[in-house]
Chains A and B, each alone.
Chain A
Amino acid sequence: MAGHKIAHATLKGPSVVKELVIGLALGLAAGGLWKMHHWNEQRKTRTFYDLLDKDEISVVVAE
């Protein structure tokens, strides 16, 4: 395929596939960090409602 290496007069030129793979890997890593944040938030929310249902915490101020 013509796009594998960008032709250059003296140097070999960058590899398109390599750059795409690195870009995808970085994108997935960053997305993975966000997913970890999301799962952590979900876990905190689930824990909150579990404790609320078991009456271990309350959102009502005792008078």
Chain B
Amino acid sequence: MIVLKWLFLTISPCDAAEPWQLGFQDAATPIMQGIIDLHHDIFFFLILILVFVLWILVRALWHFHYKENAIPQRIVHGTTIEILWTIFPSLILMFIAIPSFALLYSMDEVVVDPAITIKAIGHQWYWTYEYSDYNSSDEQSLTFDSYMIPEEDLELGQLRLLEVDNRVVVPAKTHLRIIVTSADVLHSWAVPSLGVKCDAVPGRLNQISILVQREGVYYGQCSEICGTNHAFMPIVVEAVSRKDYGSWVSNQLIPQTGEA
């Protein structure tokens, strides 16, 4: 019980940008967890080098202060130290490159058989989402636009510049394929807690695979300058249980079949 209370006090899912935020948002996909782990691996070497260099700098200033050491020595060569300060950085680079390439190639792996394919189409200045796996009787796929909720229409507790009228509802713990494109200028479909950023290029289909590991609401923003309202076309992904997702799809399709 104490452990649970400790967990709740220290882990509050951060799936949207927060004021004065320093670190990453909490990961909700294996890709994002991999990115955070790689960052931690590199940060270890960063701290090691920073502390080492600061120590040498401070000690050099201490030992060779003009009052302590009036006559400076002119050292020209030092073969051993020159070899060492070439080999050690190369080793560090190798230790950084190995997990980096491992993550890069794992991110590029395409899921062969995703359960659902969703198209995200960028417009000036909103997103359109198409769930073409479900066609109603007149072959119209489930399609809707997603506009930002303006500040004056926000309800208490909603996030400024991040909320939308229609969220992208997806099932959690399910392999998804998102196809990103644009109908006009360049946009970018980005959701930090899912570890996703994919350019929306007119005339091109870009594909990403994601697996959302927990239910929740994940916020992102357009990440490629696209005009005057570039900052006002956010993305909200809502991951729900498979049962709730099935109900949502049915509810979305019913009015369309009713109109047919």
Q: How many residues of B contact A (CB 8 A)?
A: 39
| CB <8 Å contact, A45 and B33 | yes
- A59 to nearest B CB, angstroms? 5
Q: Say whether B77 faces chain A, with CB atoms less than 8 Å apart.
A: yes
Q: Say whether B51 faces chain A, with CB atoms less than 8 Å apart.
A: yes
CA gap between A1 and B4 in the complex, in Å = 60
Main secondary structure of the interface of B (DSSP, over half): helix
| CB <8 Å contact, B55 and A27 | yes
| CB <8 Å contact, B4 and A31 | no
Beta-carbon contacts of B80-96 to A below 8 Å, as 1s and 0s? 11000000000000000
Q: Say whether B213 faces chain A, with CB atoms less than 8 Å apart.
A: yes
| CB <8 Å contact, B213 and A49 | yes
Q: Say whether B49 faces chain A, with CB atoms less than 8 Å apart.
A: yes
CA gap between A1 and B69 in the complex, in Å = 21
Q: Say whether B52 faces chain A, with CB atoms less than 8 Å apart.
A: yes
Among B4, B33, B51, the most chain A Cβ lie within 10 Å of the Cβ of B51
**A22 touching B44 in the complex, CB below 8 Å, given contacts A8-B69, A59-B13:** no
**A44 touching B44 in the complex, CB below 8 Å, given contacts A20-B56, A27-B51, A52-B214:** no
Residues of B within 8 A of A (CB): 4, 7-8, 10-11, 13, 27, 33, 37, 40, 43-45, 47-53, 55-56, 59, 63-64, 69, 71, 73, 75, 77-81, 213-216, 241
